[in-house]
Amino acid sequence: MAYRLPTFNLQGRLRRWSPGPYPGPGLGTLVSCGLRLYKTSFIVNAGFNALTMVALVLPKGTDIRGNSPKSNGDIVEVPNGSGRFYIVNSVDDVAKGFANEYRFAAMTQVQIPFPIP
């Protein structure tokens, strides 16, 4: 059986990071996507912390940006209107050049301490 394209059964709102009073200009862009568990790490250092990363799968060619030396990664609210915000750490293409190509974004959940317009 051939590998199939993942389903993009959710709508997310994608915003560019900006140093202003909220993440990104305006309302952002609606994108079709899917949300998956990526990995969980446990950090033991003066206490116990768990870091869970999730994966956002998107149609190929979706303009989403991860962390770079010049800027922070995009902020995504998934599902749209849920109040669950994630910052994009890295982005890569999966199955590049094949019919089942899609984009993969590794993200961590963040708490936004200010209202989103």
Residues 4, 63: Cα–Cα separation, whole Å? 22
Q: What is the pLDDT of residues 98-113, one digit of tens each?
A: 989 999 999 988 877 6
**Domain ranges for the chain:** 10-110
Residues 72, 85: Cα–Cα separation, whole Å? 14
pLDDT for the residue 42: 60
- Which pair of tokens denotes residue 108? 């961590």
Residues whose CB falls within 8 Å of the CB of residue 58, separated by 6 or more in sequence, listed in order: 8, 31, 32, 33, 34, 64, 102, 103, 104, 105
pTM for this structure?
0.79
**Gyration radius of the chain's alpha carbons:** 15
